[in-house]
Amino acid sequence: MSGKERRFGGRSARIQASVHQAVEALTSEMDRDELTVPLIAARAGVTPSTIYRRWGGLSELMADVAVKRLRPIGSPLDTGTLTGDLEAWSEQFMEEMSSDVGRAMIRDVCGDASNAANACTCCGYTIDQLTTISVRAADRGETAPPVNDLIDLIVAPIMYRILYGGVALTSTYCKMLVARALAAP
């Protein structure tokens, strides 16, 4: 949102919801590259100046929508073991992030250089999910590596491969990353 304070509730919340819905509807109908602020504004029933004033531009708006869509809906799957939880979570994370939609959201969030808070918010979602898994493990008497180590040893390689390629992203790859993370000193 280009550094401006965002207001919540009332008319402001209705505008945000309408614009977000317009973006989601339009991206299901056309390529992301075809979207424009006037097109989104027309679909949302607002003026383009409303979008520019609130978000600053198309890239900031797309990043805001992506952050909302990247937020996990629920807690990670509880398989009964730390290994199982991390394998299930990493496979789901890999599948979501490596999908066409996931890659577009990554580009939108990372492409908004004017607002690093969007990337930090997404990182927070990942930390929360891994913390939930770690707390569950501790409750079962298992010892999980520190969350930052899980980010470095599981999340970072997946994101690197999504962004730069090199290794096929498969369930086997995710299981190998989890095994390395759990074997690390």
Q: Which two tokens stand for residue 141?
A: 């008497």
* CATH (domain of 138): 1.10.357.10
How far apart CA 155 and CA 76 sit, in angstroms, is 15
**Does one domain contain both 78 and 22?**
no
pLDDT digits (tens, 9 = 90+) for 59-103: 777 777 776 776 777 889 999 999 999 999 999 999 988 987 788
Q: Tell me what the mean pLDDT of segment 102-113 comes to.
A: 76
How far apart CA 113 and CA 126 sit, in angstroms, is 20
Percent of residues in the chain assigned helix, strand, coil, to nearest 5? 75, 0, 25
**Does one domain contain both 46 and 82?**
no
In sequence order, the 6+-apart residues with CB closer than 8 A to the CB of 51 are 19, 37, 40, 41, 44, 61
pLDDT digits (tens, 9 = 90+) for 38-70: 888 898 888 888 888 888 877 777 777 776 776
Residue 17 lies in a domain: yes
- Give how many domains the chain has, as a whole number: 2
The residue written with tokens 């501790």 in the block is 138
Higher pLDDT, 172 or 12: 172
* Residues of the chain above pLDDT 70, percent: 90
Residue 66 lies in a domain: no
Q: Supply the pLDDT for residue 60.
A: 77
Residue 62 lies in a domain: no
Quote the pTM value.
0.71
**Does one domain contain both 41 and 122?**
no
pLDDT digits (tens, 9 = 90+) for 155-175: 999 999 998 987 789 999 999
Q: Supply the pLDDT for residue 183.
A: 95
Residue 36 lies in a domain: yes
pLDDT class of 4 with cuts at 50, 70, 90: very low
Domain that holds residue 24: 10-56
Q: Which two tokens stand for residue 73?
A: 């809906």
**Does one domain contain both 44 and 91?**
no
**Does one domain contain both 51 and 78?**
no
